[in-house]
Amino acid sequence: MKYNRVKVSGLEIFYRETGSPDKPTMILFHGFPSSSHMFRDLMPMLQNNFHLIAPDYPGFGQSDIPSRKNFTYTFDNIAEIIDEFINVINVEKFYMYVFDYGAPIGFRIAMKHPEKVLGIISQNGNVYSAGLGKKWEARAEYWKNPTKELREQYKSAFSPETIIGQYTFGTESGSVSPDGYTLDIFYTQRPEYDEIQSDLIFDYQNNVKLYPKFQEYLRTYQPRLLAVWGKNDPSFIPAGAEAFKNDLPEAKIYLVNSGHFSLESCCEEIADIIRKTFA
């Protein structure tokens, strides 16, 4: 494994890389409240089959955290930075692995450059209204009526208790290492973190508005797609995985016995499914 940094539009973007460049490239798009470290176990399992690259978004992990005065934290802007990152590191075609926030970021890039995408692995990476769990009903009300009080209330999304719950809910007892959520909790202590993430929680409404466009991309270009989903995820429920079949009849759907961060407890199973599907 190599740990690299590269300048992209004036920002230093950190990324992990492993596997031979002679193999097909796979770019891994992490989720909230995590970073590329969520792929720390998966990447070595796939390195004999793929050239793997996992960047940290601006404001996440080890990448630069530009001030909110200098960078507007929206999914559009993050996707632009990661799109430029892909250009800077000279990747012309790639598989993309999308999880959570990685789905709206990755699908924006796929819509812009459909010729670059070799295939898609969606691991609890939702692009369908059917996949939105119960909590999103309250979020939708917040988006309609964005009071200061509700903005403060939604900062509970990155409290230590919530982060631990994201990792462990729906998993077998003792199956999730504390390493991942402990690092994520550490990252929440950095300057402006709460306001940066609050900006993105509010902007998530624009991802939902783009769902029809993401689906149109799937129908038009028919990329190979594997949805491998933690079936006990309360945020993005299994119906989101099954919905891919509406636009991609050949999509492969697998539900594993885990929750939102299913790599934490089912990494070997997921790696095996990916190899059988794409390698």
- List residues bridging with 25 in a β-sheet: 51
User: H-helix or E-strand containing 56?
Assistant: none
Q: How far apart are CA 14 and CA 48, in angstroms?
A: 23
Task: Output DSSP code: residue 132.
Answer: B
Q: Which residues contact 55 (CB under 8 A, 6 or more apart)?
A: 13, 14, 15, 27, 36, 63, 82, 85
Closest CA relative to residue 205, chosen from 125, 137, 111, 140: 140
Q: Which residues contact 136 (CB under 8 A, 6 or more apart)?
A: 208, 235
* Strands lying side by side in the sheet with 252-256: 2-8, 11-18, 51-55, 25-29, 94-98, 117-122, 225-230, 252-256
Active site residue 113: no
- Residue 33 is which amino acid? P
Q: How far apart are CA 124 and CA 103, in angstroms?
A: 9
- Active-site choice (30, 37, 51, 260): 260
3-state secondary structure 213-225: HHHHHHHHHCCCE
User: H-helix or E-strand containing 256?
Assistant: strand 252-256
Closest CA relative to residue 158, chosen from 205, 193, 208, 199: 193
Residues with catalytic function: 260
